[in-house]
């Protein structure tokens, strides 16, 4: 398929607008997963349209979020008091039979009781919400602490005097604008890949790092850049016990490959000094 021709046909714009019949839309979804160029194009179209309609919004609806969250939250809470009401009706029935005086007394008791129950339910619901918030804050703090420790470890490894930096240049054919860097410490067999300059891998694909020796060229897999989209700093720590003369990064199917797919070689660089 001629990708450029496909892109310039205008089918992707219709796809984002949702103006294609379902069958054609499915076709585009398939192509999009196969070709990163098409995905990139679709994302740019989406960004442009999304900005345009944001400009037509009367104001930024951030405030509205709160009331939506309340509604979503309330749905769960409101189911609780339902069952208890039928028993109150029965009590009321007895009240009728006994006497009007008693009834009046009972009514006020029931009302109090109901109010108390309502309060209790509300307090319970509030408690659940608060507990959730506390849990969330705790897990956030743990995450942040973990991230910080991780970042400090990486920084120390990069600064280590035995660590050499290897620039991995984007390869003309596949990814001329991409770049990456490898920080290799042969004493401690540590390898950190900075992949900030690589595009997000398409679905079903993963970046694989190769240690290279030259004359003759021999690639050895060092590992995968797993969970690329979730790694915020795009720093990946790998172990490398090879006496590497260079490093390369290729795009491979999920799970990685035994040998590198050279036609999908994104970046490459030699260890110097």
Partner 1 sequence: MQPDGLISQMQEKNPKAFERIYERYSESLFGIIYSIINDKVLAEEILQDVFMKIWDKSDTYDSSKGRFFTWTLNIARNASIDKMRSKAFKNKKKNLTADYFVDILEEKSNFVDRVDAVGVKKYIKILKPYCKKIIDLLYFKGFTQAETSEELDMPLGTVKTRNRNCIKKLREILVE
In the complex, the residues that contact partner 1 under the rule CB under 8 A are: 8-22, 25-26, 28-30, 42-62, 64-65, 67-69, 71-72, 136, 200, 203, 229-230
C-beta of 53 vs 86, nearer to partner 1:
53
User: What's the min distance (Å) between Cβ of 13 and partner 1?
Assistant: 5
C-beta of 60 vs 86, nearer to partner 1:
60
Pairing of strands 190-194, 218-224: unpaired
C-beta of 15 vs 210, nearer to partner 1:
15
Largest CA distance in the chain: 105
Between vectors from CA 162 to CA 158 and to CA 167, what angle results, nearest 5°? 55
C-beta of 13 vs 117, nearer to partner 1:
13
C-beta of 132 vs 187, nearer to partner 1:
132
User: What's the min distance (Å) between Cβ of 114 and partner 1?
Assistant: 29
C-beta of 53 vs 89, nearer to partner 1:
53
Order across the sheet with 235-239: list the strands. 218-224, 205-213, 246-253, 265-270, 164-170, 179-185, 190-194, 235-239
User: What's the min distance (Å) between Cβ of 71 and partner 1?
Assistant: 6
User: What's the min distance (Å) between Cβ of 229 and partner 1?
Assistant: 6
Q: Where are the alpha helices (DSSP H) in the chain?
A: 3-8, 11-17, 22-34, 36-55, 64-78, 84-98, 100-159
Output DSSP code: residue 99: -
CA dihedral for 152, 157, 161, 165, sign (positive or negative): negative
Q: Which of 208, 189, 213 is nearest to 259 (CA)?
A: 208
User: What's the min distance (Å) between Cβ of 156 and partner 1?
Assistant: 29
Question: Whole-angstrom Cα distance, residue 71 to residue 78?
Answer: 10
Question: Whole-angstrom Cα distance, residue 103 to residue 93?
Answer: 9
User: What's the min distance (Å) between Cβ of 12 and partner 1?
Assistant: 8
């Amino acid at each position: 398929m001629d990708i450029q021709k496909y892109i310039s046909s205008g089918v992707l714009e219709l796809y984002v607008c949702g103006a294609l019949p379902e069958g054609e839309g499915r076709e585009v979804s398939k192509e999009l997963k196969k070709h990163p160029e098409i995905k990139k194009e679709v994302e740019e179209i989406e960004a442009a349209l999304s900005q345009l309609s944001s400009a037509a919004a009367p104001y930024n609806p951030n405030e509205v979020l709160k009331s939506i969250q309340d509604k979503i939250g309330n749905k769960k809470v409101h189911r609780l008091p339902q069952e208890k009401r039928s028993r109150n009706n029965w009590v009321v029935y007895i009240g009728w039979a006994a006497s009007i005086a008693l009834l009046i007394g009972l009514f006020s008791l029931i009302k109090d009781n109901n109010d108390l129950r309502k309060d209790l339910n509300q307090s319970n619901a509030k408690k659940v919400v608060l507990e959730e918030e506390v849990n969330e804050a705790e897990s956030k703090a743990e995450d942040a602490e973990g991230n910080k420790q991780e970042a400090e470890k990486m920084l120390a490894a990069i600064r280590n005097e035995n660590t050499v930096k290897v620039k991995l240049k984007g390869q003309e054919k596949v990814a001329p604008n991409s770049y990456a860097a490898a920080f290799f410490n042969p004493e401690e067999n540590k390898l950190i890949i900075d992949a900030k300059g690589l595009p997000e891998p398409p679905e079903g694909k993963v970046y694989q790092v190769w240690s290279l020796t030259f004359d003759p060229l021999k690639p050895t897999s060092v590992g995968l850049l797993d969970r690329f989209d979730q790694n915020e700093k795009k720093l990946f720590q790998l172990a490398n016990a090879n006496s590497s003369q260079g490093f390369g990064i290729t795009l491979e199917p999920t799970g990685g490959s035994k040998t590198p797919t050279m036609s999908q070689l994104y970046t490459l660089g030699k260890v110097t000094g």
